[in-house]
Structures are given as C-alpha cells and as structure tokens.
Structure 1
C-alpha cells in the first residue's frame, strides 16, 4: 500500500466523521429549537392577557425562531 493512498484514506475517514458529527449537532439544535418554540407559545398564551407589552416582546422572540420570522424582522410593520 502506498503512503498516498493511506493518507487519502485517513482524510476521507476524517471527513466522514466530521459529517456525521455535524448531522448530529443539527438534529440536537433542531430539537432544542422545537422545544423553544413550544415554550414561547405557552408563555405567549399565559402572558397575552396580562400585558400587551410582554405579549409583543414574546411575539417578536417567537418570530425570531423561524426563518420566515427572521426575514420579517427586517420589514417594518405598517399600522
């Protein structure tokens, strides 16, 4: 076995390990974001009647957890 083939195999193995790790991290982050959205929804329902200002802050955080909400942060709301 040539040295070049051996080192290319090591590089390929490292790339596979990094890819699997990144997929694992992505799954964990997705699970955390789903829990965060559920928690923000519960807080939104609880505090909606208490204070409109708190409701607005929680609503902005809730929109910030989604991609569409992230884009909407840059748009101004017209009333």
Structure 2
C-alpha cells in the first residue's frame, strides 16, 4: 500500500491566510499556529501548550503579518 501525502497548495494557503486574518495565534518556536478569537483565549492555550508568545494575525493582501506581539508571563 502506498500513501501519498499532499501538502498545501498556493490556493489552500491563501484561503488559510484569509481565515487567520484578525485572529490571535501562538508561537510554537518555529511559526505561529492556531486561531483564537480573543487575546485571553490565546493566552490560556499558549500557557497550556508552552508557547512563549502570542500575536494577532493581519493579512495584508499578500501574506500574514503579526502585530501586537506579546510575550506570555508564566508568573501571572
């Protein structure tokens, strides 16, 4: 049995970036992942998954930019 893994296409990546627009995302050490509607929700899951920071995603027409980056305080 052969398994073929099909990666994202430019079209699916574009759709994914449009869906992430305005959402809060977690930094996993390599890239930003997840889509959370509120900053509080992103902080909660960021702490749960060991993320060191969160940021809000903005699609600028070509790609996602991350703004309002905030480092998570594990002391709080």
| TM bucket, shorter chain | under 0.3
Q: Which has the higher contact order (CA 8 A, sep 6+)?
A: 2
- Between Structure 1 and Structure 2, the one with more strand by share is 2
Give the alignment's TM-score, normalised by structure 1: 0.26
- Between Structure 1 and Structure 2, the one with more helix by share is 1
Bigger Rg over Cα: 1
Give the alignment's TM-score, normalised by structure 2: 0.26
